[in-house]
Amino acid sequence: MKIESHLTQLFINNQYVDCLNPKKNFVYNPANGSLVSDQIPVAGEADVGLAVKSAQDAFAPGSEWRRMSDFDRQKVLLKFADLIEANQEYLASLTRITLGAPYNPFGKSEIETAIGCFRYYAGWVGKFAGQSFPATDGFYKVVRNEPLGVVAGIIPWNGPLASIGLKAAPALSTGNVFILKPSEKTPLAAAALGKLVVEAGFPPGVFQVLIGDGSTGKILASHMEIAKVSFTGSVATGKSVQALAAKSNLKRVTLELGGKSPAVVFDDANLENAVHWCVNGLTTNSGQICFAASRVYVQDGIYDRFLSAYRKALAVKRGVMGDPEKATSELGPVVDQAQYERILVIIDNAKKNKEGSLLQGGEALGSKGFYVEPAIFEDTGADASISRDEIFGPVVAINRFKTEEEVIDLANNSRYGLIAGAFTQDINRALRLSEAFDSGVVGINCISTIHFSCPFGGTKESGIGRELGVHALNAYTEPKTVLINLTY
């Protein structure tokens, strides 16, 4: 694929411009290791400064964006969603060439998430009501939800367009102006959005794209004129973002930092359904999702049957792993050589340290590209790294349990708390577990999925704040109290 010149530029004030910072990054095709481009820009201080100034102008009192009616803003968001939909195969190809995820199922589903987010939040425009209180004490009291102003979204490489929807859509629907910083590993689809931003009718400076690496993210997180940063990525980087935000202007932060999600399968579970969700929850995007079902606990009575069915289902997934450009492929490579080597080292160390029994998989596949065969470890200790640490690859730890009390302790024995799943036909047990699991999301007879109307985020080191639903609107607005004295 030939990379068009504008895909290696920044999008500032509704124009593609060359990056002022001379530094360049390289991106590679993980399917074969070939160079895609050596001209990926890294936005620096001056570039960020231009974007922030344009954003401030776009948010100034009396600006086109501030004066735009709710109906017109809604139309812009809906048109943008329509344009993403009309260009989804092209956008998916731009992500696929550096991420390696086949169009079906992951590439298509992550773009559908972006489209759905913009349509969902377009529906909220003009409906995010404040409050009013009677003047029984002589004061009429009004609470308004006001936009924060210039906000930034720093998104990960593993689902770039979906992440744009989760962050940009609620920010723009509430009247903010938005600066997007995509990952340096998968920047191309984000870069392509500039043309769609203009065509949708966003005024200059409202929606901008700064391609860059961690240095760009640090500039955004510490910038004194940015009111909020929403970050998705690693725990270590999230902590750095929070510290920079606090040390600068105490900007608001939302952090979504990953997980080690437990799936708990009871004896009375529907076996076929449990295997389906657990296998898909591990292999989606080759395990490179924050809510991958990477810990599976199965009750004694169903353990052998579940494990046999799980192994067969994973072998089927192995059979559809291949070149992401082929329509028959459902699993592709992991994102790059660094991730590939990291996963293989984790698997090798687990074998050397006898952290569990490797039942199948775990090998490097092919002579080129970064393919890792999905791996199953059994009987891993609770303190084993294979059970404790986020791998971000197709590696699962499966263990048996006897009692509900035991498995609650096992599931909660993690520094993460993003998503948990329970598979059972007992509604009373399901409700108990939904309360007992220390997790931001609990699935009953499902796992590793999200919905537009419901908050998404985690407890403990899985992050701070929530995305999706009305909770995202709260995250991009500030309540303002207006007190009207009726007694003077």
Burial class (CB in 10 A: 0-12, 13-18, 19+), 197: buried
Structure tokens at 294: 């990477």
C-beta neighbour count of 2 within 10 angstroms: 5
Q: Which residues have CB under 8 Å from 348's CB, separation 6+?
A: none
Question: Which run of H or of E encompasses 375?
Answer: strand 375-378
Q: Look up residue 357 and give its amino acid.
A: S
Q: Which residues have CB under 8 Å from 216's CB, separation 6+?
A: 42, 43, 44, 47, 48, 181, 210
Instruction: Please identify which of the residues 110, 184, 256, 373 carries the catalytic annotation.
Output: 256
Strands (E), 221-374: 228-232, 252-256, 262-265, 295-299, 357-360, 364-365, 371-372
Listing DSSP states for 167-218 in one string gives HHHHHHHTT-EEEEE--SSS-HHHHHHHHHHHHHTPPTTSEEE----HHHHH
Structure tokens at 260: 């080690």
205: left (phi over 0), alpha (psi -120 to 50) or beta: left
Q: What share of the chain is helix, strand, coil (3-state, %, to 5)?
A: 40, 20, 35
Task: Report the C-alpha gap between 418 and 357 in whole angstroms.
Answer: 27
Burial class (CB in 10 A: 0-12, 13-18, 19+), 5: exposed
Structure tokens at 295: 């810990």
Query: Is the distance from CB of 242 to CB of 218 less than 8 angstroms?
Result: no
Task: Report the C-alpha gap between 39 and 323 in whole angstroms.
Answer: 25
Report the relative pairing of strands 262-265 and 419-423 from DSSP bridges.
parallel
Task: Report the C-alpha gap between 101 and 106 in whole angstroms.
Answer: 6
Task: Report the C-alpha gap between 144 and 309 in whole angstroms.
Answer: 54
Q: What are phi and psi of 18, to 5 degrees?
A: -70, 145
- The question of whether 256 is a catalytic residue gets the answer yes
Task: Report the C-alpha gap between 463 and 455 in whole angstroms.
Answer: 13
Cis peptide before 374 (omega within 30 of 0): no
User: What are the catalytic residues?
Assistant: 256
